[in-house]
Chain A
Amino acid sequence: MAKKTDLMPGTLDMLILKTLTRTPLHGYGIALSIKRISDDVLTVEEGSLYPALQRLLLQGWVKAEWRQTETNRRARFYTLTLTGRKQLSRELSQFDQMVAAIGRVLQDA
């Protein structure tokens, strides 16, 4: 198995939630979207994606329903909920603070 770029710990949930702000997506779609938008830098492993989705479901931040795809196949689509949206903004502001802090440290060095 090829070495993949590791995500910063704790960022996967945030990425998934962010991806779902635009439109409901199925698991494969989420992985593809993250990969494409990050210009192939971020690869989400299936081994982390599906456990993460279940975690988000349990928390009630996303909800899932079975729908038809454009190619007429049945797939489980995930939709961001209201509490999920709130959680995302909380995580984003925390992330921003952290990035800013890291930036200051790096500039100073």
Chain B
Amino acid sequence: MESLARFLNKLRIYSHREDFSLELDEEMAFHREQREEDLREDGVSAEVAHHAAMREFGNAARLKDQVEEIVGFSFETVLQDFRYALRQLRRNPGFAFAVILILGLGIGATTAIFSVVNPILFKSLPYPQPDRIMTLQEIGSDGSHLQGTFGMYRGLLERTRLFESMAVLKPWQPAIIGTRAPERLDGQRVSASFFHVLGVAPALGRDFNAADDRRNGPNVVLLSNALWQKHFAGDPAIIGRQVTLDDSVNDAPIQRGSYLVIGVMPQSFDDVLAPAAQLWSPLQYDMSTEFPAWGHVMRTVGRLRPGVSVDQASREINELGQAVLKEQHPVSYGRHVQFITSSLQDDLTRSVKPALLAVLGAVLLVLVIACVNVTNLLLARGVQRRGEFAMRAALGAGRSRLIRQLLTESLLLAAIGGAVGIAVAKLGVRALVTISPVGLPRVGTIGIDSSVFAFGLGITTLIGLLFGLTPALQAARSDPNRDLQQGARSIAGGNRRTRGALVTAEVALALVLLICSGLLLRSLERLIAVTPGFDSSNMLTMQVQTSGHRFDDNDSTFRFFDQALEAVRHVPGVTTAGMSSELPLSGDLEEYGAHFEATPTQTADSDSVFRYAVTPGYLETIRIPLLRGRLLNDHDRSGAPRVVLISESIAKLRFPGVDPIGKRIGIGPDDGQPFTIVGVVGDVKQMSLALNQSEAVYISESQSWFADSAMSLVVRGRGDAAALAAAIHQAIWAVDKDQLIERVATMDSLLAASEAQRHFALLLFEGFALVALLLAAAGIYGVLAGSVAERTREIGVRAALGASRSNILALIFRQGMRLTITGVAFGLIASIAASQALVSLLFGVSRLDPVTYLGVIVLLIAVSAVACWVPAWRAARVDPASTLRAG
């Protein structure tokens, strides 16, 4: 505690610092002279007395230092240390730059990645008791995940005892008309209890109730806060007003009309099931005209009663689900369907979790490598500065003062590195969000994670303190005399071994990262080499949507698409064009049940298949090969016998050794007319290049049991198909200018987008692996260069004793390569273990793929050979005469 008097005294001294210093000098000089005089009076000779007095008095500079510390304010020495530290860093900018860069990158990259991963994987959903919210899915006989059917939802809802509420939902893209230019919005059609399942209530107005969610119920809508602000300026009087929405994209019921706004959701509400959703309307499922037991298009969610475990719920749903199936499909019941009940959190993150965890692991490795590198740099610098510290100790710097000095330097480095780290993290997060694949959940909540940043900064600072201090402790412990004489040349063997071990660790870690990214790269290569089953090159695709009351009946919808297609075919430059309800690798997913009749070898069975309702010309344009029979043509219209093309996989699975042509299958509702198989076509990748799910049927659009209100157009032309986009727009609008054209993309870009997630992981891994490789190379170079500088004299002696340049070159080179090879050996073991974590991201490549391992090892050794060569070459140039003379 500093009393007021003390403080004032200090202040007085502070303002007369010069005088104080002079007086102290004089006082000490007086002391020494007085002692000298006394000694002389005792009969000691003048010279001896002088030296004795000097010696007895001891180190005047240190004494003065101590006194000044007592009378000075504590910030003064801090400032002094700070100035000195800055000077030190400026004197050695290469070192400072390297440390700051490594720290900045390490801290920044870790913070950025963790900031992205944390909200997605680890932060719980923004709803009350989020662990009670479940999603329900079915697993088909081929192991694929399916959404539920409306019939299943109703069946489960009637029977469940463990769920408090359940809801189904499906996407909805109405256009809002009136207030501004028409705008297509993302929304959801939900059953009445959807918001109850989430545990969220509107901020204004009311939630949906059962009366809203009936067939032919009232047109009501809930708005998001953002939509309310944007279109209605946040006017609370919006409740009870009508808005005009055109939602004709959805199958049925087709509606363009007035919707009553009944509420506005809270600003904080984040619909994790559809992050872009801005409005919600009741599902109003029509049990009488639709086919509730078919169409796996309903996302099903439920809220568990308190205290019910996921396991209990899972068992209940499986049991009840089987009962519902038996009731709904009495004929075909018996196929293996399983139900999965998982928490919404797990369901949302399941697809991205492996990639994100792998990336997180990679960035942690980079942080470790960065730490190792900084440690190495600090140790090397400590050795270089031994002379300096010995000098300062001899000149009277106390041990605590030296340590404090080094602490200041380390903290300064850590602080600047941290500042760079924040900048890197900010840029990194922004870049990551930008390049993140579409469909990464909860991207909106991503921000810099301050606790992670603190962690990264803390770790690196700790390392700085620990290893930056070593030289000071050594200097304080060791004999200044010897260190001064030997200067930086003397190096503790222990230190050199430590640094060697660190470099080995760096090489090993870099190898792990390189092998992981190598495996991912090879997987991506394999994937790209997978043929999607059609010719994706130079093909333009777009989705054409019908809207308006005049499409209320199927025939006018069919007619519009026919006319639009015809118009497109007449666009100059277009060679072929066709339409399909479903486009491969576009995210479209439309599955229906297919019923196979009993054959002599197989019993009757049902399975879900992809349904492609196509126009003639679609298969020709996309170039799916015809294997048997014929393709669809203009005669396969409504009224004509229903025909179907099946994929090769169905032919193999359902008609082994039999000619499927002429056989009949039921598709869709049980009561429909069966389809006759007229052709077999090649398999197509629908969901992803990596998935083999390819059982598909192609029917003629006009023979379908309902008219799709949106069709994807595929166009091939002479030259660049993408250049035709504008002309095609015009042609379609010439038929009907009110129709929406969306999702314009080349097939190649759809193909790339379908692998975006893998690409994303690969991109990050490549980045990290590159950084790791550079850091490892820098580490090897640093250690060898330092070692050559320290051993200049020894090398000179060797040269003088007859060692040739190549001998010396080999000596240093071997030293570096030994570190590399040891690192590679450890790295191999670590890689074999680490690659286990990547398995789910790999495709067509074993995690122990020898080509990758070999390639990476060769690459790493080559790079480190270059890093070794430079110092070795420098060592070989050492002039023996000059070094020996200098020593």
Is the C-beta of B243 less than 8 angstroms from some C-beta in chain A?
A: no
Determine whether the beta carbon of A46 is less than 8 Å from that of B57: yes
Near A by CB (< 8 A), chain B positions 44-85 give 55-59, 62-63, 66-67, 70-71
* B857 to A: closest C-beta gap in Å: 60
Is the C-beta of B215 less than 8 angstroms from some C-beta in chain A?
A: no
- Bound together, the chains give a CA A31 to CA B38 distance in angstroms of 13
Determine whether the beta carbon of A57 is less than 8 Å from that of B58: no
Given known contacts A51-B67, A74-B26, is B31 in contact with A46 (CB within 8 Å)? yes
* B583 to A: closest C-beta gap in Å: 85
Determine whether the beta carbon of B9 is less than 8 Å from that of A58: yes
B contact residues around A50 at 8 Å (CB): 24, 27-28, 63, 66-67
Determine whether the beta carbon of A54 is less than 8 Å from that of B27: no
A contact residues around B67 at 8 Å (CB): 50-51, 54
Selected from A31, A47, A73, A75, the residue in CB contact (under 8 A) with B62 is A47
- Bound together, the chains give a CA A66 to CA B27 distance in angstroms of 10
- Bound together, the chains give a CA A73 to CA B36 distance in angstroms of 14
- Bound together, the chains give a CA A51 to CA B59 distance in angstroms of 13
- In the complex formed, the residue of A with least CB distance to B55 is A1
- Bound together, the chains give a CA A66 to CA B864 distance in angstroms of 70
Is the C-beta of B10 less than 8 angstroms from some C-beta in chain A?
A: yes
* B56 to A: closest C-beta gap in Å: 8
Is the C-beta of A76 less than 8 angstroms from some C-beta in chain B?
A: yes
Selected from A51, A73, A74, A75, the residue in CB contact (under 8 A) with B66 is A51
* A1 to B: closest C-beta gap in Å: 7
Is the C-beta of B659 less than 8 angstroms from some C-beta in chain A?
A: no
Determine whether the beta carbon of B30 is less than 8 Å from that of A46: no
Main secondary structure of the interface of B (DSSP, over half): helix
Determine whether the beta carbon of B27 is less than 8 Å from that of A46: no
Near B by CB (< 8 A), chain A positions 40-59 give 45-47, 50-51, 54-55, 57-59
Is the C-beta of A26 less than 8 angstroms from some C-beta in chain B?
A: yes
Determine whether the beta carbon of A59 is less than 8 Å from that of B58: no
Among B24, B27, B59, chain A packs the most CB atoms within 10 A around the CB of: B27
A contact residues around B66 at 8 Å (CB): 47, 50-51
- Bound together, the chains give a CA A75 to CA B34 distance in angstroms of 10
Selected from B5, B6, B27, the residue in CB contact (under 8 A) with A27 is B27
* A2 to B: closest C-beta gap in Å: 9
**Size bracket, chain A contacts:** 20 to 34
* A69 to B: closest C-beta gap in Å: 9
- Bound together, the chains give a CA A104 to CA B35 distance in angstroms of 41
* B768 to A: closest C-beta gap in Å: 54
- Bound together, the chains give a CA A45 to CA B59 distance in angstroms of 11
Determine whether the beta carbon of A57 is less than 8 Å from that of B30: no
Determine whether the beta carbon of A28 is less than 8 Å from that of B35: yes
Contact with A along B18-33 (1 / 0, CB 8 A): 0000011011101101
- Bound together, the chains give a CA A17 to CA B139 distance in angstroms of 91
- In the complex formed, the residue of A with least CB distance to B57 is A46
B contact residues around A103 at 8 Å (CB): none
- Bound together, the chains give a CA A12 to CA B453 distance in angstroms of 49
Determine whether the beta carbon of A60 is less than 8 Å from that of B57: no
- Bound together, the chains give a CA A35 to CA B3 distance in angstroms of 32
Determine whether the beta carbon of A46 is less than 8 Å from that of B71: no
Near B by CB (< 8 A), chain A positions 67-88 give 73-76
A contact residues around B62 at 8 Å (CB): 47
Given known contacts A50-B63, A58-B71, A60-B5, is B28 in contact with A45 (CB within 8 Å)? no
Given known contacts A58-B71, A59-B5, A59-B6, is B63 in contact with A47 (CB within 8 Å)? yes
* B638 to A: closest C-beta gap in Å: 105
Determine whether the beta carbon of A75 is less than 8 Å from that of B30: yes
- Bound together, the chains give a CA A32 to CA B62 distance in angstroms of 22
Determine whether the beta carbon of B58 is less than 8 Å from that of A55: no
Near A by CB (< 8 A), chain B positions 506-529 give none
B contact residues around A57 at 8 Å (CB): 9, 71
B contact residues around A1 at 8 Å (CB): 55, 58
Given known contacts A54-B67, A58-B9, is B58 in contact with A45 (CB within 8 Å)? yes
- Bound together, the chains give a CA A76 to CA B10 distance in angstroms of 19
* B65 to A: closest C-beta gap in Å: 10
B contact residues around A47 at 8 Å (CB): 58-59, 62-63, 66
- Bound together, the chains give a CA A26 to CA B31 distance in angstroms of 9
- Bound together, the chains give a CA A60 to CA B7 distance in angstroms of 11
Determine whether the beta carbon of A46 is less than 8 Å from that of B23: no
- In the complex formed, the residue of B with least CB distance to A59 is B6
* A32 to B: closest C-beta gap in Å: 8
A contact residues around B6 at 8 Å (CB): 58-60
Determine whether the beta carbon of B5 is less than 8 Å from that of A28: no
Contact with B along A3-39 (1 / 0, CB 8 A): 0000000000000000000000011100110000000
- Bound together, the chains give a CA A75 to CA B30 distance in angstroms of 7
- Bound together, the chains give a CA A66 to CA B26 distance in angstroms of 11
* B301 to A: closest C-beta gap in Å: 73
Determine whether the beta carbon of A58 is less than 8 Å from that of B63: no
- In the complex formed, the residue of A with least CB distance to B6 is A58
Determine whether the beta carbon of B27 is less than 8 Å from that of A75: yes
Selected from A31, A55, A59, A73, the residue in CB contact (under 8 A) with B30 is A73
Among A1, A27, A57, A58, chain B packs the most CB atoms within 10 A around the CB of: A58
- Bound together, the chains give a CA A43 to CA B31 distance in angstroms of 15
A contact residues around B5 at 8 Å (CB): 59-60
- In the complex formed, the residue of B with least CB distance to A31 is B31
Determine whether the beta carbon of B58 is less than 8 Å from that of A76: no
* B796 to A: closest C-beta gap in Å: 40
- Bound together, the chains give a CA A47 to CA B66 distance in angstroms of 8
Given known contacts A51-B70, A55-B70, A58-B70, is B31 in contact with A28 (CB within 8 Å)? yes
Selected from B27, B33, B34, the residue in CB contact (under 8 A) with A76 is B27
A contact residues around B56 at 8 Å (CB): 46
- Bound together, the chains give a CA A40 to CA B727 distance in angstroms of 111
A contact residues around B33 at 8 Å (CB): 73
Determine whether the beta carbon of A60 is less than 8 Å from that of B9: yes
A contact residues around B58 at 8 Å (CB): 1, 45-47
- In the complex formed, the residue of B with least CB distance to A2 is B56
B contact residues around A54 at 8 Å (CB): 67, 70-71
A contact residues around B9 at 8 Å (CB): 57-58, 60
- In the complex formed, the residue of B with least CB distance to A45 is B58
Among A27, A46, A55, chain B packs the most CB atoms within 10 A around the CB of: A46
- In the complex formed, the residue of A with least CB distance to B65 is A51
Given known contacts A57-B9, A59-B6, A60-B9, is B28 in contact with A46 (CB within 8 Å)? yes
- In the complex formed, the residue of A with least CB distance to B35 is A28
A contact residues around B34 at 8 Å (CB): 28
* B641 to A: closest C-beta gap in Å: 110
- Bound together, the chains give a CA A27 to CA B25 distance in angstroms of 13
Determine whether the beta carbon of B28 is less than 8 Å from that of A26: no
- In the complex formed, the residue of B with least CB distance to A46 is B57
**B interface vs A, CB < 8 Å?**
3, 5-6, 9-10, 23-24, 26-28, 30-31, 33-35, 38, 55-59, 62-63, 66-67, 70-71
User: Could you list 5 examples of A-B contacts with CB < 8 Å?
Assistant: A26-B30, A47-B66, A57-B9, A59-B3, A75-B30
Given A50-B27, A51-B70, A59-B5; 15 other pairs, CB 8 A cutoff? A26-B30, A27-B27, A27-B31, A28-B30, A28-B35, A31-B31, A46-B57, A47-B62, A47-B66, A50-B28, A57-B9, A58-B70, A59-B3, A76-B23, A76-B26
Shortest 10 CB-CB contacts between residues of A and residues of B: A28-B34, A28-B31, A58-B9, A54-B70, A51-B66, A76-B27, A60-B5, A58-B6, A54-B67, A75-B30
